[in-house]
C-alpha cells in the first residue's frame, strides 16, 4: 500500500451519500479498475482508521463495501465493553451487491456508533443483533453468511450507506453526542446510563 491509495472520504451533505448505489456488474470484478478500487477502499479504511467503508464514501456510487475489525482497532475499549458489544475479530471482508435480512429471534441491540462521513459525532442506534447477508465477494463468488454482534452492526451500517442512508437516520436523536463527549460521558458505561441521563428510550 502506498499513500496515494488512500482516498479522501466524502462528508455528509454530499448527495452521493444520499442516493442508492448502483449494483456492480459481476464481470467488472475481474477488471483491474475494480480491484484497484477495492485496494484503495481497504487502505482508506485502515488509514482512517475505521471498521467499514462503503464505495459512496469515496465518491463511487456502487454497491460495494469493505469491513474489518480486530484488536488493532479496539484502542481503549475494555474487555467488558467488547463483550457487551459482542465485538470480536472480523477478518477483511468485501461485500458486493449485498442483501441484508434480520435473523428472527435475535432482537435488537442499542449502542453508540459513528461514521467516517459524519466526523466528530456519535449517537445510539438500535440494530439487529444478527443478520443474514447474501452478496458476492471480491472474486464474484457468492456469499451467504450470518453475522452477529458488532460485525452485524458494521454490516447494517455499510448496507445503509449503499441505500443512501446514514446512521443518523436511525439514531436516537436525544443520544447525539460529540465524539469528545462520548468519550467523556458514555464510553465504558452501559447504554442504559445514557438513555436515563439524556432522556431517550433504549430499544
Hey, which residues does 122 pair with through a beta bridge? Answer: 177
Q: Name the residue number minimizing CB distance to Ni ion.
A: 115
Q: Shortest approach of Ni ion to residue 26 CB, angstroms?
A: 25
Site string for Ni ion, 109-148 (x = CB under 5 A): ------x---------------------------------
User: 32 vs 69, which CB is nearer to Ni ion?
Assistant: 69
Distance separating alpha carbons of residues 130 and 142, to the nearest angstrom: 19
* CA neighbours closer than 13 Å in the CB half-sphere of residue 185: 19
Of 133, 94, 96, the C-alpha closest to 22 is 96
Verify binding: residue 41, Ni ion, rule CB under 5 A: no
User: 38 vs 166, which CB is nearer to Ni ion?
Assistant: 166
- Catalytic residue flag (residue 158): yes
Site string for Ni ion, 75-114 (x = CB under 5 A): ----------------------------------------
Compute how many residues bind Ni ion; rule: CB under 5 A.
1
User: 38 vs 140, which CB is nearer to Ni ion?
Assistant: 38
The answer to whether 96 and 29 have CB atoms below 8 angstroms apart is: yes
Q: Shortest approach of Ni ion to residue 7 CB, angstroms?
A: 15
Angle, CA of 131, 114 and 35, to the nearest 5°:
65
User: 96 vs 115, which CB is nearer to Ni ion?
Assistant: 115
Strand runs (DSSP E) across 70-117, as ranges?
90-102, 108-115
Of residues 46, 113, 138, 158, which has the active-site annotation?
158
**5 Rama sector, left if φ>0, alpha if ψ -120 to 50, beta otherwise:** alpha
All three cell numbers of 69, joined, read 475489525
Q: List interacting residues with Ni ion (CB under 5 A).
A: 115
Catalytic (active-site) positions: 158
Amino acid at each position: 500500500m502506498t499513500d496515494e491509495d488512500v482516498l479522501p472520504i466524502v462528508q455528509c451533505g454530499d448527495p452521493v451519500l444520499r442516493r442508492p448505489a448502483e449494483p456492480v456488474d459481476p464481470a467488472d470484478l475481474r477488471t483491474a479498475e475494480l480491484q484497484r478500487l477495492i485496494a484503495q477502499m481497504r487502505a482508506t479504511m485502515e488509514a482512517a482508521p475505521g471498521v467499514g467503508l462503503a464505495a459512496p464514501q469515496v465518491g463511487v456510487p456502487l454497491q460495494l463495501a469493505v469491513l474489518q475489525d480486530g484488536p488493532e482497532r479496539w484502542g481503549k475499549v475494555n474487555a467488558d465493553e467488547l463483550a457487551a458489544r459482542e465485538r470480536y475479530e472480523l477478518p477483511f471482508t468485501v461485500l458486493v451487491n449485498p442483501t441484508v435480512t434480520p435473523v428472527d429471534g435475535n432482537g435488537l441491540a442499542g449502542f453508540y456508533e459513528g461514521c467516517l462521513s459524519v466526523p466528530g459525532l456519535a449517537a445510539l442506534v438500535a440494530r439487529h443483533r444478527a443478520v443474514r447477508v447474501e452478496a458476492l465477494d471480491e472474486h464474484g463468488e457468492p456469499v451467504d453468511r450470518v453475522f452477529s454482534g458488532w460485525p452485524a452492526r458494521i454490516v447494517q451500517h455499510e448496507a445503509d450507506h449503499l441505500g443512501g442512508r446514514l446512521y443518523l437516520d436511525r439514531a436516537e436523536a436525544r443520544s447525539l453526542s460529540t465524539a469528545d463527549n462520548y468519550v467523556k460521558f458514555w464510553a465504558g458505561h452501559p447504554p442504559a446510563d445514557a438513555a436515563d441521563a439524556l432522556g431517550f428510550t433504549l430499544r
